[in-house]
């Protein structure tokens, strides 16, 4: 057996040349899982049909009917995304047997593209936090610093990709939940524009800002995953002018130093960097009510009522709370969010729209195509929620697409991510910028 490929792109080439098989790729992933055991608490469940699916992919390839570059590629799913025949738990003990009626739309698309689903990954219970702690799986630990959080809420997906349990993964992002763990683990994470991909079959947190997207080892891999999910990225030249959101720098010298070096590389490539003026206080994402508090209970109760096979899931959040089979850390948040059920959201969403309008006007006035800033001002060093700042909320509240890529490493060897944000029409610019950083990161 040849050594495991470093990326989806490399694996696809090896598969096309007959240098490996889908079953071999799956076996390599499972060997890495067996080697690590449950050391990092990344996985919650395994697809009982993964071996069968890999062998079917190999038969199809031998018959000349490979579906495309994802054919035979092992992937993992965050365990708030439905895979038929496997419970969708959101990390909660009360949902340990919650059996979805069908796979999520994006999972059906990935499987139609030939992907092999290895299993489901641990996460922040209900996706509430930016660490990944659940009553079913415990804390997802950082492979480079096992005393620390891997980030969240899609932390298990990020660790699974980083450790080779799969070649790519799918997470969800409401306020940074793809991008933060991707950044902490030296990976690429992409949050599409809100509404760009269907959310059917995915547990809601705040439908007005929920998205689903890839966590991958390379920018090219993220593009392949997106295309298979139904969202191709337009090719774009490297932008000539981008805005730097300076007000989210300054809290962590190690992060700032790595990101400053990345900005230097952009400038050396001919990109003009323009400082973005500070946001008006009333639009600053660090202030004001959060849409999750207003939308979660209503959305999740509707999900419980419609998404699962009869009798396999609790009927409501009230039932979950009454049964006490959930993470005790979330008791106050659950009570507050249930109490806020069916509250009005218009004023919160109006501020989101105002932020998008302000950012759009600033980009037009400064003739810039994208914005850049550190994905997180934190480098995790314990199991608490990382104090990374509000930068990831810019994408969540504007609805714009955002991409994080590894900018380099701090002196202690921990990865640092840099994030690009742009209006949906300039989405391709994010990938052009990320490819440049990826090619020059040290």
- Closest to 360 (Cα-Cα) out of 310, 425, 295: 425
Specify whether 236 is catalytic: no
* Global pTM exceeds 0.75: yes
Which of 1-5, 133-137, 270-274 is predicted with the least confidence, judged by mean pLDDT?
1-5
Which member of 149, 177, 208, 398 is catalytic? 177
d(CA 150, CA 154): 9
Q: What class is the 241-287+346-440 domain?
A: alpha beta
Span 157-216, pLDDT tens digits: 999 999 999 999 999 999 999 999 999 999 999 999 999 999 999 999 999 999 999 999
Every domain of the chain and the residues it spans = 8-229, 241-287+346-440, 291-339
Mean pLDDT to the nearest integer, 327-334: 98
Q: Report the pLDDT value the prediction gives residue 144, as an integer from 0 to 100.
A: 98
Mean pLDDT to the nearest integer, 95-124: 98
**Cα angle 304, 106, 49; round to 5:** 85
Span 406-416, pLDDT tens digits: 999 999 999 99
Mean pLDDT (the chain) is 97
Mean pLDDT to the nearest integer, 398-409: 98
Which member of 134, 135, 149, 153 is catalytic? 153
Q: Report the pLDDT value the prediction gives residue 3, as an integer from 0 to 100.
A: 77
Q: Report the pLDDT value the prediction gives residue 251, as an integer from 0 to 100.
A: 87
Confidence bin at 98 (pLDDT 50/70/90): very high
Q: Do domains 8-229 and 241-287+346-440 have the same CATH topology?
A: yes
- pLDDT over 80 (residue 1): no
Superfamily for the 8-229 domain: Amidase signature (AS) domain (3.90.1300.10)
Span 27-65, pLDDT tens digits: 999 999 999 999 999 999 999 999 999 999 999 999 999
Tokens of 84: 């038929």
d(CA 106, CA 82): 9
- Closest to 39 (Cα-Cα) out of 154, 165, 127, 124: 165
- pLDDT over 80 (residue 440): yes
Q: Report the pLDDT value the prediction gives residue 2, as an integer from 0 to 100.
A: 63
d(CA 186, CA 189): 10
Confidence bin at 78 (pLDDT 50/70/90): very high
Q: Report the pLDDT value the prediction gives residue 442, as an integer from 0 to 100.
A: 65
Span 291-317, pLDDT tens digits: 999 999 999 999 999 999 999 999 999
Specify whether 32 is catalytic: no
Specify whether 177 is catalytic: yes
Which member of 78, 90, 124, 134 is catalytic? 78
- pLDDT over 90 (residue 287): no
Q: Report the pLDDT value the prediction gives residue 441, as an integer from 0 to 100.
A: 81
Mean pLDDT to the nearest integer, 12-34: 97
């Amino acid at each position: 057996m040849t050594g495991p490929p470093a990326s989806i792109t490399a694996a696809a080439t090896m598969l096309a040349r007959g240098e490996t098989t889908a079953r071999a790729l799956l076996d390599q992933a499972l060997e890495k899982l067996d080697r690590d055991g449950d050391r990092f608490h990344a996985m919650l469940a395994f697809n009982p049909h993964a071996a069968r699916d890999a062998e079917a992919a190999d038969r199809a390839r031998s018959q000349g009917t490979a579906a495309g570059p994802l054919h035979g590629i092992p992937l993992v799913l965050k365990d708030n995304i439905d895979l038929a025949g496997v419970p969708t738990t959101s990390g909660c003990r009360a949902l340990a047997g919650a059996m979805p009626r069908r796979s999520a739309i994006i999972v059906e698309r990935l499987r139609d593209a030939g992907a092999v689903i290895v299993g489901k990954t641990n996460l922040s219970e209900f996706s509430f936090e930016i660490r990944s702690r659940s009553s079913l799986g415990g804390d997802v630990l950082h492979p480079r610093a096992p005393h620390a959080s891997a980030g969240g809420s899609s932390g298990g997906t990020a660790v699974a990709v980083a450790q080779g349990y799969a070649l790519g993964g799918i997470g969800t992002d409401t306020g940074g939940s793809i991008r933060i763990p991707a950044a902490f683990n030296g990976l690429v994470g992409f949050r599409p524009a809100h509404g760009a991909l269907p959310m059917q079959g995915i547990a809601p947190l705040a439908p007005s800002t929920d998205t689903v997207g890839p966590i991958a080892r390379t920018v090219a891999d993220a593009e392949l995953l997106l295309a298979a999910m139904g969202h191709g990225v337009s090719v774009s030249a490297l932008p000539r002018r981008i805005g730097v959101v300076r007000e989210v720098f300054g809290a962590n010298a190690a992060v700032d130093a790595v990101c400053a070096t990345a900005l230097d590389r952009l400038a050396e490539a001919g990109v003009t960097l323009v400082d973005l003026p500070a946001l008006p206080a009333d639009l600053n994402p660090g202030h004001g009510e959060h849409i999750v508090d207003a939308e979660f209970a209503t959305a999740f109760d509707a999900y419980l009522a419609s998404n699962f096979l009869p009798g396999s899931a609790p009927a409501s959040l009230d039932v979950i709370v009454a049964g006490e089979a959930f993470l005790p850390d979330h008791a106050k948040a659950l009570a507050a969010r249930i109490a806020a059920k069916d509250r009005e959201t218009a004023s919160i969403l109006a501020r989101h729209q105002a932020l998008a309008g302000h950012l759009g006007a600033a980009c037009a006035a400064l003739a810039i195509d994208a914005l850049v800033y550190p994905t997180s001002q934190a480098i995790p060093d314990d199991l608490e929620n990382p104090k990374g700042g509000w930068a990831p909320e810019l994408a969540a509240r504007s609805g714009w697409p955002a991409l994080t890529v590894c900018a380099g490493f701090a002196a202690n060897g921990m990865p640092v991510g840099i994030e690009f944000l742009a209006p949906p029409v300039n989405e391709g610019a994010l990938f052009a910028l990320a490819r440049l950083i990826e090619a020059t990161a040290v």
